[in-house]
Amino acid sequence: MRRDPERSHDDFTVAIAERVANRTDADPADLPPLYDVVDTTHLNHLIESSHPDLEVEFPYYGFTVSISGDGSVRLTGRSGDQSRADH
């Protein structure tokens, strides 16, 4: 998943939840809100204005979500595998 300047803050957080839901065969609406584990406003601001070398990690629903400065998202955990999507 990569940052898209046309996407809103809510689109980005929904995309992360959808990615996790897809990996767990869950309904995104049944997952805990992302804002319960990370300040989504600050996260979005970091992604919009970050340096390419920056990486932010946080736990979410049994996964570690890693977001790099270019907006790429990687999920690790649960089965120990990795998943990367470009947005």
Identify which of 6, 23, 10 has the alpha carbon closest to the alpha carbon of residue 84.
23
DSSP strands (E only) in the chain = 55-60, 63-68, 73-77, 81-85
Domain ranges of the chain: 9-85
Q: What is the pLDDT of residues 24-77, one digit of tens each?
A: 999 999 999 999 999 988 887 777 776 778 888 999 999 999 888 777 788 998
Distance CA 53, CA 21 (A): 28
* Main-chain dihedrals φ then ψ at residue 68, nearest 5 degrees: -90, 170
Q: Model's pTM, two decimal places?
A: 0.73
